[in-house]
Amino acid sequence: MRALITGAAGQDGTLLSEELLALNWDLVGTKLASEVLSEDYPLYGSQVEILDITDFDSVKRVVASAKPEVIFHLAGISSVGFSIENPELTKSVNVGGVENFLKVLSDAQFSNIHFINAATVEIYDAAKGVITESSSLEPQSPYAQSKSEGYLLCRAARQTGLPTTNAILSNHESYLRPVEFVTGKIANGVARISLGLDTRIELGNIDVAKDWCSARDIVAGLVSIASKQFVGDVILASGESTNLTEIIREAFSYVGIENWHDYITFKESLIRKDERREIRIDPSLAKRELDWSTTTPLRDWVGEMVQHHLDSLGESVH
Distance CA 40, CA 123 (A): 34
| DSSP single-letter state for residue 48 | E
Encode pLDDT of 209-253 as tens digits. Answer: 999 999 999 999 999 999 999 999 999 999 999 999 999 999 999
Helix (H) or strand (E) holding 214: strand 213-214
- Range 193-199 contact pairs with CB under 8 angstroms and sequence separation of 24 or more: 193/255, 193/257, 193/263, 194/255, 194/256, 194/257, 194/310, 194/317, 195/310, 195/313, 195/315, 197/313, 199/263
- H or E stretch covering 119: strand 114-120
What pLDDT score was predicted for residue 44?
Answer: 65
Q: What is the DSSP string of 124-148?
A: B-GGGSSB-TTSPB---SHHHHHHH
Distance of CA 15 to the CA centre of its chain: 11
pLDDT at 260 over 50: yes
Per-residue confidence band for 273, with pLDDT thresholds at 50, 70 and 90: low
Q: What is the model's pTM?
A: 0.94
- In three-state form (DSSP H/G/I as H, E/B as E, the rest C), the secondary structure along 62-82 is HHHHHCCCEEEECCCCCCHHH
**Residue-range domains of the chain with CATH:** 2-172+214-236 (3.40.50.720), 177-210+241-279+296-312 (3.90.25.10)
- pLDDT value of residue 318: 47
* pLDDT of 287 strictly over 70: yes
Mean pLDDT of the residues in the chain: 94
> Do residues 27 and 45 lie in contact, with contact meaning Cβ atoms separated by under 8 Å?
no
Span 168-190, mean pLDDT? Answer: 96
More confident residue, 147 or 272: 147
